Amino acid sequence: MFYMEDAEIVLMFCFLAIPVAIWLQIWVKNRKQNRKNPLGEEEFENTGRAFFSIIIEGTAMIGGLIIIIVATSGIVKYIINFYT
């Protein structure tokens, strides 16, 4: 059984998670822009660094999207339960 205090705590964490997800997306964007050469192409020093960047940035992008989805669904769930 959920109490109103629990729902408000979940809502607070949902609101706090959204800026984290946005920060992750901005971080990935900045990393990609910092690697661009004057022609606008991404450059890596070696294949290992490229592979590492793909794994880290891909995980950050997917994680950020998951956080946004979970946080948004938590907010919607709170609104539905509060107003019904």
Q: Where are the domains of the chain?
A: 15-34+46-83
What is the model's pLDDT at position 45?
Answer: 86
Whole-number Å distance between alpha carbons of 84 and 80: 6
pLDDT digits (tens, 9 = 90+) for 36-84: 888 888 888 899 999 999 999 999 999 999 999 999 999 999 999 888 7
- pLDDT band for position 4 (cuts 50, 70, 90): low
Distances (CA, A) of 10 to 2, 5, 66, 67, 80: 11, 9, 16, 13, 14
Cα-to-chain-centroid distance, residue 25: 6
pTM value is 0.79
Burial 38-68 (b: 16+ CB within 10 A, else e): eeeeeeeeeeeeeeebeeebeebeeebeebb
What is the model's pLDDT at position 1?
Answer: 46
H or E element: which one contains 50? helix 47-83
Mean pLDDT of 17-21: 94
